[in-house]
Amino acid sequence: MSFLNFVISGISLGSIYAIIALGYTMVYGIAKMLNFAHGDVIMVGAYVCFFAVSKYNLPPLVGVLLAVVICTLLGMTIEKLAYKPLRSATSLAVLITAIGVSYFLQNAALLLWTSNPKIFPSFFKRAGADATQAVNGVSLFGGQLRISYVTVVTIAVCLVIMVALTLFTSRTKMGKAMRACSEDKDAARLMGINVDSTISLTFAIGSGLAAIAGVLLCSAYPTLVPTTGSMPGIKAFTAAVFGGIGSIPGALLGGILLGVIEIFAKAYISTQMSDAVVFAVLIIVLLVKPAGLLGRKIHEKV
């Protein structure tokens, strides 16, 4: 059953990558920019939830909601102060700004919360369960297959978010405005759509999802430091490119595949080489299909 354990662990990790990748894919799909500060918003959300629960003894659900609210406001603030003035700037200027915002958030977290690792509390255990049960979770096949509660919750939350976001973009007025902006911002503006508000909403949704991903990530891997979001953010960006950046189903597919590949690389190749394997697979896929697995080629008229 070790194979199934690895598959489930990979899907769980990939679900976190998929939630994070949504922020990249939505912002790129609409604003055509790469927000490399997105991974650090994950870290901020995790810290907010950690202090809300550990220091102020708030219920976990309240801590998660508080993290979502603060990260949503943070995402909108970053967009307004750092990215909105660069709306007509070159891609390189926006990229450098995004890297600068990322380092600013990391160093601000370092000043506020120091570099000492924080142990994230366990939210997912049955009432009256001891620590061992909290880790083991659900046992199947006579105990040969064990699925932790955080794994079950992570996969379920990912599926709910994907379905909700798909319905939002296809059924609601604001969702249709997002799709119109992703196709042609100038034409959308002529049709009466407020492009600036649409882009701000995109940042808000992506940052709120980043907070949820941060809580799920630190629940599965409990050590929390100011650089917690850096590597998951890069891998989630890789997942977005892997699946086809700009595509919501692509973010899900890319995240799941990336998580499974990473877990199997750790199990069967080398823990130290797992990241190299992940990025090598990405390079191979892009050589064969440059737009990603579910991406589509965009033909520009000249």
Question: pLDDT band at 302, cuts 50/70/90?
Answer: very low
Q: Mean per-residue pLDDT for 7-28?
A: 91
- Rounded mean pLDDT of 189-195? 89
Residues ≥6 apart with Cβ < 8 Å to 48: 63, 66, 67, 70, 71, 211
Per residue in 35-46, pLDDT tens?
A: 889 999 999 999
pLDDT digits over 217-253, tens only? Answer: 999 899 999 999 999 999 998 899 888 888 888 889 9
Q: What is the pLDDT of residue 185?
A: 86
Using the predicted structure, report yes or no on whether residue 128 has a pLDDT greater than 80: no
Q: Tell me, what's the pLDDT at 297?
A: 62
pLDDT at 31 over 50: yes
pLDDT digits (tens, 9 = 90+) for 265-292: 999 888 888 888 888 888 888 888 888 8
For the residues 50-76, what does the mean pLDDT come to? 94
Pairing mode, strands 118-119 and 145-147: unpaired
Query: Tell me, which fold does domain 2-288 have in CATH?
Result: ABC transporter involved in vitamin B12 uptake, BtuC (1.10.3470)
Q: Judge contact between 12 and 213, C-beta under 8 A.
A: no
Query: What value does the mean pLDDT of the chain take?
Result: 87
Q: Output 129 or 40, whichever has higher pLDDT.
A: 40
Whether 157 has a pLDDT exceeding 70, the answer reads yes
Q: pTM of the prediction?
A: 0.90
Predicted pLDDT of residue 137? 67
Residue 124 has pLDDT above 80, yes or no: no
**What does each C-alpha distance from 170 to 109, 161, 166, 195, 218 come to in angstroms?**
37, 14, 6, 18, 32
What is the torsional sign of CA 22, 28, 34, 38? negative
Which residue has tokens 């199947």?
140
pLDDT at 10: 92
Query: In which band, very low, low, confident or very high, does the pLDDT at 260 lie, cut at 50, 70 and 90?
Result: very high
Rounded Cα distance between 160 and 162, Å, is: 6
Instruction: Reply yes or no on whether the pLDDT at 300 is more than 60.
Output: no
Percent of the chain with pLDDT over 70: 90
Closest CA to 42 of 290, 230, 239, 195: 230
